[in-house]
A and B are shown apart, each in its own frame.
Chain A
Amino acid sequence: DVVMTQSPLSLPVTLGQPASISCRSSQSLVYSDGNTYLNWFQQRPGQSPRRLIYQVSHRDSGVPDRFSGSGSGTDFTLKISRVEAEDVGVYYCMQGIHRRTFGQGTKVEIK
């Protein structure tokens, strides 16, 4: 099974400041078609998750451009350029090369 490991698990941030979440996979997420199947999800308190990023760096429709994804192989990063109050929640990475596996989640809160 592909294991996904996120860090940190808790991330207190100041409004307007940047935030960065790391996600590492136990094996390369490059699929046989050449694409890398790594998604990022946001789950706000009391809500269902929603996808922010797919295939490492492609933002979903309606996602603010302060969110960006990067990485390759086994190491990936989600960055928020300037944290806003509505960004509070838990962020998950998910691999899609073998079934699906989520990371443990990173809780983003305002200092």
Chain B
Amino acid sequence: EVQLVESGGGLVQPGGSLRLSCAASGFSLSSYEMNWVRQAPGQGLEWVSSIWSSGSPLNYAESVQGRFTISRDSAKNSLYLQMNSLRTEDTAVYYCASLSLGRAWELPDYWGLGTLVTVSS
């Protein structure tokens, strides 16, 4: 059974850092493009970042460019999002997701349950 389990969320002060993890099971995460998506309280979905199966390029939304870094560890079958210089507007539930487009070489659509990041003083 395929599962994506996010962790690492919590309360952090503005300007602080946090590292989110997404542990995958049932497939090899490094074989596919993977994404981070966030959803601020009561708001819509916002794509944050992606990493291709080849490891590059690394893509980021303008709102997080230069502050967030996506990475993965094949041995741990995990995806990460290092978040630095956090702002109050980064408060959201962060999802790990495949966001696949239905192409033959892609995963089906998978999402984790999300992890809540709250940036507040």
Contacts and interface: CB of A to CB of B under 8 A. Distances in A.
A100 B50 contact: yes
A54 B109 CA distance: 10
Contact of B111 (A39, A48, A96, A104): A48
A44 B95 CA distance: 15
A88 B108 CA distance: 23
A96 B112 contact: no
B45 A48 contact: no
Majority DSSP secondary structure for residues of B touching A: loop
Contact of B101 (A1, A48, A55, A102): A55
A96 B44 contact: no
B35 A100 contact: yes
A69 B113 CA distance: 26
Interface residues of B, number: 23
A54 B46 contact: no
Nearest to B60: A99
Interface string A1-43: 1000000000000000000000000000000000101010101
A1 B50 CA distance: 15
Interface in B26-64: 35, 37, 44-47, 50, 59, 61-62
Nearest to A51: B109
A55 B99 CA distance: 12
Contact of A102 (B45, B50, B108, B112): B45
Contact of A58 (B44, B59, B61, B102): B102
Given A50-B109, A99-B50, A100-B50, A92 B44 contact: yes
Interface string B74-116: 0000000000000000000001010111110000110111100
A60 B109 contact: yes
Interface of A: 1, 35, 37, 39, 41, 43, 48-51, 54-55, 58, 60-61, 90, 92, 94, 96, 99-105
